[in-house]
Amino acid sequence: MSSLHLDDFTDLIERPDGGVRRDAEARRERQIVPPGALGRLDDLGEWLAAAQSTARVRPIERPRVVLFAGDHGVASLDVSARPAGSAATLVRAVLEGGSPVSILARQSNVPVRVVDMALDCDPGDLPADVVRHRVRRGSGRVDIEDALTPEEAEAAFRAGMAVADEEADSGTDLVVLGDVSVGGTTPAAVLIAALCGTDASVVTGRGGVAIDDLAWMRKCAAIRDSLRRARPVLGEPLQLLAAVGGADLAATTGFLLQCAVRKTPVILDGVVSAACALVGQRIAFRAPDWWLAGQSSGEPAQRKALDRLALEPLLDQGVSVGEGTGALLTLPLVRAAAALAAELPEKPTEDTAEAAEAEETTEAAERE
């Protein structure tokens, strides 16, 4: 019998400090730039204040990109523009610095961590620190079989929790979350359709690298068949992840929830992280208060999930490449919001004006 009690997250996760947020709002009203004039940067600054439990926001000094990686058996149906089992190639590009997220991270001086949960390659092909949490080689084909055994689902979920604890313990103050997968948008769409009670056609998108119409129809059919397998376990999140998710999705869900426990803010990237966030919301309703939606990838399933989560993307650039790339683009906005909230001077009050006038009079007298 499993010793993992998902109900505990409801008790362990607290909302960001509402009292501090009110103090931050009051402080913002005293600053020289009128409230609202900075648009969403005002909201971001107040959100950061609540997450940090301080009305004077601290700068984001130790952000980290965390990417959960895996291959999905459903990719063998040619529902992805990339060959089935090729996610390891994408991981190597990230590690070697040639992927979009690596280039942006290098420009922003942000470290990138890749966590292999189910890549379809020999673990010896990748660094030991990348593969140490792996639970299996590739996740099952979700349209006809479970992605994971119950034991593997729990192991992946716990691995995600462990990674969140490692990041919190190392001082990471903001996580940019993403995935490196082939076929991952298909189980993500299944999870979103199941949890939102919608049809396959509503959530079927074109994936990170746009697929043609025939591939879209195959993907839609795979999602439809997977939904039939998802509905009987809809009330059991861990069973749902085992049936139609995957090791990387189970780990991401555990990671998100444990980040909320540890009060570590997270920026979500695309449809995969949105799907995991939706599962996380089903487990602990306060958890989404610790997450930001980084960007709109254009995937219909992502829009559906973010609407249910009541999260509005910070950017709408249509970046669908995955790997946390779109979410990382929002980091300068978050850092700007933190700097403005902390450093904008306050309007002078009568007391400060009188003090300044008295100081000027004293200085004039001394000069005479």
Which residue numbers are catalytic? Answer: 323
Query: What 8-state DSSP symbol labels residue 144?
Result: T
Dihedrals phi, psi of 360, to nearest 5 degrees: -65, -40
Answer for the pair 338, 42: CB distance below 8 angstroms, yes or no: no
* Residue given tokens 């999905």 in the structure block: 72
**Cβ-contact 223, 239 below 8 angstroms:** no
Strand locations in the chain (E)? 63-71, 112-118, 174-182, 266-268, 291-293
Tokens of 161: 């929790």
Residue with tokens 């001086």: 109
CA atoms of 187 and 309, how far apart (whole Å)? 18
| 8 Å CB contact between 253 and 274 | no
Inter-residue contact 169 to 64 (CB < 8 Å) = no
Residue 269 CA from chain centroid, whole number = 5
